[in-house]
């Protein structure tokens, strides 16, 4: 027969192991959320340089041009393709707006008609028609873990020629 103190020690050890497992399981969703990232491949980057300015928007913030993005990045433009990584995102439905700020003046330069003078792009390579595309045209899902999107920068002149 085991002494009483040995039986109590086994109960406390089992209880401690149980608490440790519960603690690890409760951390799993938080770790998964913080591990959510989005790798964006921005293609057709002009050799003129400057910065790629990119914003990630949810449905509520996309339609209002004054709303801050959920996540943003300003990355030195690399001719051909520039890769932008956004980390610690919450899974959800998002849209990307980006432009190449060729002269690095921190704004999208436009003509007096309002047409962009600098390369720009949207998720799902949506093409604007006299206004930016609607959220439904640019939305995509970000799942827990690593996600990837590719968008191609476009020019206003090429859009007008295609019409």
- Mean pLDDT over all residues of the chain? 84
For residues 23 and 53, membership in a common domain is answered with no
Alpha helices in 4-45 (DSSP H): 4-34
What is the rounded distance in angstroms from the CA atom of residue 61 to the CA atom of residue 124? 18
**CATH number where 51 lies:** 2.60.40
Q: Please tell me the pTM assigned to this model.
A: 0.76
Cβ count near 75 (within 10 Å): 16
Using DSSP, state whether 132 is helix, strand or coil: coil
**Both structure tokens of 63:** 């339609």
Q: Hunting for tokens 């943003």 — which residue is that?
A: 72
What is residue 88's predicted lDDT score, i.e. its pLDDT?
97
Q: Domain containing 92: what range?
A: 37-162
Task: Report d(CA 152, CA 163) in Å as an integer.
Answer: 18
Q: How many domains does the chain fold into?
A: 2
Residue 158 pLDDT greater than 60, yes or no: no
Query: Cβ of 39: how many Cβ atoms within 10 Å?
Result: 14
pLDDT-based confidence at 64, cuts 50/70/90?
confident
3-state secondary structure of 65: coil
């Amino acid at each position: 027969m085991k002494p009483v103190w040995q039986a109590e020690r086994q109960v406390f050890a089992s209880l401690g192991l149980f608490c440790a497992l519960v603690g690890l399981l409760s951390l799993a969703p938080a770790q998964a959320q913080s591990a959510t990232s989005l790798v964006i491949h921005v293609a057709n980057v002009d050799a003129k340089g400057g910065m790629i300015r990119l914003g990630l928007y949810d449905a509520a913030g996309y339609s209002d041009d004054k709303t801050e993005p959920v996540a943003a990045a300003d990355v030195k433009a690399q001719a051909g393709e520039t890769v932008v990584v956004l980390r610690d995102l919450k899974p959800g439905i998002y849209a990307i707006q980006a432009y190449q700020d060729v002269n690095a003046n921190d704004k999208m330069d436009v003509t007096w008609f309002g047409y962009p003078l600098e390369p720009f792009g949207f998720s799902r390579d949506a093409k604007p028609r006299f206004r930016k595309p609607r959220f439904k045209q640019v939305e995509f899902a970000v799942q827990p873990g690593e996600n990837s999107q590719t968008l191609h920068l476009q020019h206003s002149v090429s859009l007008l020629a295609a019409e």
